[in-house]
Amino acid sequence: MGWLRTLFGTRKGIGPREADGLIRSGALLLDVREPAEWRAGHAPGARHIPLGELEGRLGELPRDQTVVVVCRSGGRSARATAVLTRSGFQALNLNGGMGAWASVGLAVQTDDGQAGTVV
């Protein structure tokens, strides 16, 4: 896990392929977009907590897992990453957000498993 400490210590965010690898290795993907954005499409397995609710819902997040935070383009998720880091979580921002995620061909789906879109 020394590489993970190095990653957290030297970088503010990660790209979509690196995020996908971390998620496949057990990291949690936290989507902080608004409900309408989430309903249009999100990454499979992501957890949804809108940015405006995050501070009041920190207890819902595991402290023993890396949290990769995503929004539409990376701004809101950067703010959420700062909140999480200040609260003692190991958190990374997904640079470029869901737009970057979708642009490299990673899955975007609706709650019913259908193909989703990034809005």
Q: Just list the catalytic residues.
A: 71
SS3 content of the chain, % helix, strand, coil (to 5): 45, 15, 40
SS3 94: strand
